[in-house]
Structure 1
Amino acid sequence: MARSGRSVDWGFPRWRGYEAGREAATVRLCDRHGCEERGDCPAPKSPNNPDRWYFCQKHAAEYNKGWDYFEGLDKEEAEKRAKAEKAENASYAESAHYGWAGSGDGSRSADEMRALDVLELEADADFDAIKKAYRQRAKLVHPDVKPGDAEAAAEFQKLQVSYEVLKAAEERREWKG
């Protein structure tokens, strides 16, 4: 007996969706007027209301930026909810000491931080400040300025390696963004 059609699940990789059949799956669009993106991020229509808007990620972020969770509540109820939120999220505050040890916004690696320490710069130094500090310090310990001084040569090598690490990181940032 011959089969009456092609299988829905043939070969690898899996060529069909995970829905039950071949028919098109319904997709909810973003509730923002004129947006044709998929609306899979729920957002409350108003405080203390179970109704939701469904936005795409871009419009959900825009909507949530100005959201006031305590709007429409009296002062006592707002304080009660704030206290409850704080109690529920205490573990996040408790774990804050596992974050970055030094200053900085977290965008620099440990190698970059060590390189900045060698150049005696702050964690938020821009590349122009890095270049300036490298040149000033390198002029003092350059092998042409202090020939035969092994300590100055070692210091110059440290400065050179630190500058190369920071230069490569800056090039990566420029390439990404």
Structure 2
Amino acid sequence: MSRARRSDSWGFPRWGGYGSASDATPVRMCDRSGCNEKGDCPAPKSPNSPERWYFCQSHAAEYNSGWNYFEGLTKEEAEQREARERADAGGYKESAHYGWAGSGDGTRSRDELKALETLGLDPDADFEAVKKAWRTKAKLVHPDVKPGDEAAATEFHKLQVSYEVLRAAEERREWKG
């Protein structure tokens, strides 16, 4: 007769978690050859097929970059499908709860994006482009160039505030960097 093995649990509180095991947890690797990242983003191997590739985030983005959701449809059919799917925000477009998100890659604050918009720049513009756009626009509406013009003074003030917001953000990035 074999004896029962004693438990490693010494009562309450339990030293091990419920259902804990010492075995390693299996991790699915990215299906892209040569990649050693975790593959947790499924992608179809072919249209209407249940089989899936599993990629890491960067390779999933690369795989999806060439995807044409409207391939094989006429222009009218594509417009109808887009209108139908926009009605409930359940289609290929961004979900409704992400609708507040603006452009950019998430590294800039809302104030920075508004300042870039005021200067007429893209969300990924570097600080040299900010300086150039600020100088160009400020020269047109500077109070010395247009004395007594309230609209020009207001526009100049907006440009100054935008530049200060972006300059402070750039200094913070350099300080952290």
Superposition pairs of residues 1-177 of structure 1, within 5 angstroms: 4=8, 7-9=15-17, 20-69=20-69, 79=77, 83=80, 86-92=83-89, 109=111, 112=115, 116=118, 122=120, 126-127=129-130, 128-136=132-140, 137-140=142-145, 159=156, 162-172=159-169, 175=173
1-structure distance, mates of 2:79, 2:47: 14
Structure 1 residues 90 and 37: CA distance shift in structure 2, 3 A: same
- Other-structure match for 2:3: none
**Alpha-carbon offset, residue 168 of structure 1:** 2.7
TM-score normalised by L of structure 2: 0.54
1-structure distance, mates of 2:154, 2:86: 48
Gaps of 5+ in 2: 1-5
Structure 1 residues 111 and 45: CA distance shift in structure 2, 3 A: closer
> CA RMSD, aligned part only?
4.7
Q: Give the number of aligned pairs.
A: 143
**Alpha-carbon offset, residue 161 of structure 1:** 6.6
Gaps of 5+ in 1: 10-17
Q: Percent identity?
A: 36
TM-score normalised by L of structure 1: 0.54
Structure 1 segments (4+ residues) deviating >3 Å: 2-6, 68-71, 81-86, 104-111, 121-126, 155-162
Structure 1 residues 84 and 111: CA distance shift in structure 2, 3 A: closer
**Alpha-carbon offset, residue 156 of structure 1:** 5.9
